[in-house]
């Protein structure tokens, strides 16, 4: 997959199913349902974002849908992702879970539907979920399908069983949790990596390498972390409920990290994770 560097938040990366995904969007994990979510979506779309990431788990799908509708921006210009929680693994439950999400969102289709975690009663249930997502795509209810928190082993399980390669794998991904092996595997199979916790949830903004690179470009640590992901071809979905931060996090398209800065940032990998759960531990 070779792509030109994106020129703005609405720039899209190609997906292996012929669709395209904005390179950048708004995360909404732990964004309060109700007016907080609706306002964050409105501010983000007003700042040029063209994608919102939600999940059944976040209890804010209805407000994401309301925010998208209220924006007045054409539906096909805004990319909406939601996810099936791991209590819903299985073919029938995946169908039910998707329809419930679609109803809460108040939309006709979802742009990307993800299996939130590979955690399932058994590999057979996990594969049945994937067959469920294939059906949803075939029925035209979601445009692209993918997975989240899948390790190479979980991805290989799908590849061995299914004719449909996930379009996306959304994983914890920032300079401190960067897995070149997973990256190479996904690149080889045309699976787009999407970065959750791209800002390390603010926990590593004081890292000296990040601070030095930020200083060299007169940018903030948040902007450097997002820019690093974009230059790797990842989809970046920083979350904020503050208008100034929503704007700040999107101001990443008018500077570039040098090759040596990218290497220095890559070399920060090795943890610790900021989120709970490690895909490698899931059987």
Q: How far is the CB of 219 from ligand NAP (least distance, A)?
A: 11
Q: Give the whole-angstrom CA distance, residue 16 versus residue 6.
A: 18
Residues 142-161 touching ligand NAP, rule: CB under 6 A, are 148-149
Question: What is the bridge-based pairing of β-strands 20-22 and 12-14?
Answer: antiparallel
Tell whether residue 175 is a contact of ligand NAP (CB under 6 A).
Answer: no
137-176 CB burial, b ≥16 within 10 A, e <16? beeebbbbbbbbbbbbebbebbeeeeebbbbbbbbbbbbb
Give how far the C-alpha of residue 111 lies from the chain's centroid of Cα atoms, to the nearest Å: 12
Q: Which of 49, 58, 113, 178 is catalytic?
A: 58
**Exactly one of 238, 257, 265, 268 binds ligand NAP (CB under 6 A); which one?**
238
29-40 CB burial, b ≥16 within 10 A, e <16? bebeeeeebbbb
Q: Which residue has the tokens 């070779």?
A: 2
Q: How far is the CB of 240 from ligand NAP (least distance, A)?
A: 3
Q: Which residue is nearest to ligand NAP (CB)?
A: 27
Which H/E stretch holds residue 161? helix 152-161
Q: How far is the CB of 201 from ligand NAP (least distance, A)?
A: 4
Tell whether residue 37 is a contact of ligand NAP (CB under 6 A).
Answer: no
Give the total of residues touching ligand NAP (CB under 6 A): 26
Q: How far is the CB of 182 from ligand NAP (least distance, A)?
A: 14
Known active-site residue 58: yes
Q: Provide the annotated active-site residues.
A: 58
Site residues for ligand NAP per CB under 6 A: 27-29, 53, 116, 148-149, 170, 196-202, 222, 237-242, 245, 248-249, 275
């Amino acid at each position: 997959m070779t792509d030109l560097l994106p020129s703005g938040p609405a720039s899209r990366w190609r997906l292996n199913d012929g669709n395209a995904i904005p390179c950048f969007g708004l995360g909404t994990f732990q964004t309060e349902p109700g007016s907080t979510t609706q306002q964050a979506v409105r501010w983000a779309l007003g700042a040029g974002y063209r994608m919102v990431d939600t999940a059944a788990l976040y209890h804010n799908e209805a407000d994401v849908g309301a925010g998208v509708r209220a924006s007045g921006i054409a539906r096909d210009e805004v990319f909406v992702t939601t996810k099936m929680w791991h209590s819903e693994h299985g073919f029938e439950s995946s169908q039910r879970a998707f329809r419930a999400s679609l109803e809460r969102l108040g939309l006709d289709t979802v742009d990307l539907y993800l299996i939130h975690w590979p955690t399932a009663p058994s590999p057979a249930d996990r594969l049945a979920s994937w067959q469920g997502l294939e059906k949803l795509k075939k029925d035209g209810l979601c445009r692209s399908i993918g997975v989240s928190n899948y390790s190479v082993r979980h991805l290989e399980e799908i590849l061995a069983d299914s004719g449909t390669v996930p379009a996306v794998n959304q994983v914890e991904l920032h300079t401190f949790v960067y897995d070149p092996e997973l990256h190479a595997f996904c690149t080889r199979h045309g699976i787009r990596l999407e970065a959750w916790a791209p800002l390390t949830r603010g926990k590593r903004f004081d890292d000296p390498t990040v601070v030095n690179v930020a200083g060299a470009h007169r940018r903030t640590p948040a902007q450097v972390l997002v820019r690093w992901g974009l230059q790797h071809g990842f989809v970046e979905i920083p979350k904020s409920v503050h208008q100034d931060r929503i704007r700040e996090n999107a101001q990443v398209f008018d500077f570039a990290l040098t090759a040596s800065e990218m290497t220095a940032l890559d070399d920060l990998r090795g943890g610790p994770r900021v989120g709970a759960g490690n895909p490698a531990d899931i059987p």
